Amino acid sequence: MKAAARVHLLMLVMGIASTIASPLQPAVSGAVGFAEPNELLPRLEVELSLDCNQLLDQLIGKMEEYAEYSARVLAIATKSGTYGGLAYAVCRSFDQQVINCNYAGLSVASAITVAIEEGFVEAPNLSQGAQAAEGIKPSLDARANTLATRVEAYLRNEDINFDAIYPVSGLGRRSGDEDNGEVVYVQGVKDTTGLTTDLRIGAREHGEGYIHVTSGTGPLGTRATNAGYKVAWKVFNRVDSIPNNAAKGFGKIIAGDWQKRIVDNHNVVDYISRVILGRKGYMDIRIIPETKGFGLGYEDVHDCVD
């Protein structure tokens, strides 16, 4: 069943006055319009094609340090019947004793932080013009080793603790991984409560990728196939890198808004948001609930589930 007919949404990306978002809580609720553009920032028109049954385009938070940065929720998909309640049910599988999905929210925040950091490394830098012709490309295993080094640096820079991190070698990759770039597995990512999450990161070329977020409890050999969430991302119009603390701040803002929506409305399934980083570009993020043994592939950030 289609979530909705495809709908086109025209957005204007520009500077907006700063507000401060509390951790894991949306800074603004309800639909808001764009403020007058800051003449020092570029005006960018973006036409989106979103296959979701609720188009929102709501400001959900900003950071005091960077007035030109913001986060918006673009759309959600709600379903009843078989798929209704899936996102909420999965969050309860992380911790049956917590009905507000705080554990899942903190876990997804960590994944979004890594996604923002990695996306703005892999995406082509438009300020460098046409890229030089590529030489001999490193092997997949060599690229996975490099990704593991980068992810470890992201986590340590953001003061996120974890037990272990390692690249998934060619021999250990699952069916379908060949189309998903380098793969790295992070075990035992710890949130502020001491609960743990495992992250399986697939980074593809040109600034897109996905992260599987699963509970870090249970026998080690079965944790990667637990029910969880897939955080897919894609970067657009990247120019330059981003400040380290911006990634963690927006991870909390987006995960907080997502968490509140799935708790308040158990029929919310898919969630699509955007991080706008002024001149540096923007990233679209989709959070997808998955049952045990979910698929490993990258999924389009603008398509809600069927």
pLDDT in tens, 165-193: 988 865 444 544 445 578 899 998 887 77
Whether the predicted pLDDT of 30 surpasses 50: no
Q: What average pLDDT score do residues 122-140 get?
A: 62
Per the model's pLDDT, the better-predicted residue between 177 and 35 turns out to be 177
The full DSSP string for 218-245 is S-GGGGGGSSEEEEEEEEES--S---HH
Q: 49 versus 109: which is more confidently predicted? A: 109
Q: Angle at Cα 58 formed by Cα 2 and Cα 104, nearest 5°? A: 70
pLDDT at 294: 65
Q: Who's near 37: CB < 8 A, 6+ residues apart?
A: 12, 14, 15, 43
**Alpha carbon 214 to chain centroid, angstroms:** 14
Contact (CB, 8 A) for 184 and 204: no
- Residue 236 contacts residue 74 (beta carbons within 8 Å): no
Name the nearest CA neighbour of 117 among 145, 144, 73, 150. Answer: 150
In the predicted model, what is the mean pLDDT of residues 270-276? 94
SS3 at position 257: helix
Angle, in degrees to the nearest 10, between helices 102-122 and 244-264: 140
Query: How many angstroms separate the CA atoms of 121 and 127, rounded?
Result: 13
The reported pLDDT for the residue numbered 216 is 72
pLDDT at 65: 86
The confidence band for 129, taking pLDDT boundaries of 50, 70 and 90, is low
For residue 282, what pLDDT is reported?
Answer: 92
Least confident piece of the model among 30-34, 50-54, 71-75, 279-283: 30-34
pLDDT value at 293 more than 80: no
**pLDDT tens digits along 191-200:** 777 778 899 9
What's the pLDDT at 239?
A: 82
pLDDT at 36: 30
pLDDT of 296 reads: 67
Give me the sheet containing 164-167, strands edge to edge.
54-63, 66-78, 268-277, 282-290, 228-236, 208-215, 196-204, 182-190, 164-167
pLDDT tier, 139 (very low <50, low <70, confident <90, very high otherwise): confident
Q: Determine which of 11-15, 80-84, 273-277 has the lowest per-residue pLDDT on average.
A: 11-15
Rounded (10°) angle between helices 244-264 and 86-94: 110
Most confidently modeled range among 32-41, 80-89, 193-202: 193-202
> What is the per-residue pLDDT for 21?
36
pLDDT in tens, 84-97: 788 998 988 887 66
Structure tokens at 45: 């028109």
**66, two tokens:** 């960077």
Whether 120 shows a pLDDT value over 80: the answer reads yes
Partners of 184 in the β-ladder = 167, 201
How confident is the prediction for the chain on average, in pLDDT? 75
Is the pLDDT at 62 greater than 80? The verdict is yes
Q: What is the DSSP letter of 29?
A: -
pLDDT at 164: 92
Instruction: List all residues 6 or more positions away from 119 whose beta carbon is below 8 Å from its beta carbon.
Output: 207, 208, 209, 233, 234, 235, 283
